[in-house]
Amino acid sequence: MSAGETSAAVGARIREARERRGISLSALARDAGIGKATLSQLEAGERNPTIETLYAICGPLGVPLSALVGEVEGSRAAAAGGMRTVLLDLRRRPDGTTVEVFRLDFPAGARHTSPAHGRQVTEHLVVTGGAIRVRMTTSLLVRAGESTTWTSNRKHSYAAIGGPAEAVLVITTPAAG
Q: Collapse the DSSP code of 156 into the 3-class scheme (helix H, G, I; strand E, B; otherwise coil) and give the result.
A: strand
Say what the pLDDT of residue 146 is. Answer: 98
Nearest to residue 159, comparing CAs of 118, 116, 114, 124?
114
Does residue 43 sit in the same domain as residue 120?
no
- How many structural domains is the chain composed of? 2
Looking at residue 98, which CATH number applies to its domain? 2.60.120.10
The residue from 69, 96, 127 where one domain ends is 69
Does residue 114 sit in the same domain as residue 45?
no
Q: Select the more confidently predicted residue: 92 or 147.
A: 147
Confidence class for position 105, pLDDT limits 50, 70, 90: very high
Confidence class for position 2, pLDDT limits 50, 70, 90: low
Q: What is the mean pLDDT of residues 103-113?
A: 93
Distance between the two ends of the chain, CA-based, in angstroms?
32
Does residue 86 sit in the same domain as residue 141?
yes
Domain that holds residue 113: 76-173
Nearest-Å Rg of the Cα atoms of the chain is 16
The residue from 16, 48, 69 where one domain ends is 69
Does residue 103 sit in the same domain as residue 153?
yes
- Exposed, middle or buried: residue 24 (CB in 10 Å: 0-12, 13-18, 19+)? exposed
Q: Do 69 and 49 touch, CB atoms closer than 8 A?
A: no
Q: Select the more confidently predicted residue: 51 or 110.
A: 110
Does residue 38 sit in the same domain as residue 90?
no
Does residue 105 sit in the same domain as residue 39?
no
The dihedrals phi and psi of 74, each to the nearest 5 degrees, come to 95, -5
Q: What is the pTM of this model?
A: 0.73
Does residue 164 sit in the same domain as residue 113?
yes
Q: In sequence order, what DSSP letters do the residues of 50-107 get, joined into one string?
A: -HHHHHHHHHHHT--THHHH-S-TT-EEE-TTB-EEEEEEEEE-TTS-EEEEEEEEE-
pLDDT at 92 over 70: yes
Does residue 167 sit in the same domain as residue 119?
yes
Reported as type and span, the H/E element at residue 19 is helix 3-21
Confidence class for position 143, pLDDT limits 50, 70, 90: very high
The residue from 20, 44, 69 where one domain ends is 69
Q: Do 17 and 58 touch, CB atoms closer than 8 A?
A: no
CB-CB neighbours of 169 under 10 Å = 17
Q: Select the more confidently predicted residue: 80 or 56.
A: 56
Confidence class for position 1, pLDDT limits 50, 70, 90: low
The dihedrals phi and psi of 129, each to the nearest 5 degrees, come to -160, 140
- Exposed, middle or buried: residue 5 (CB in 10 Å: 0-12, 13-18, 19+)? exposed
34-43, 76-85, 130-139, 159-168, range with the lowest pLDDT: 76-85
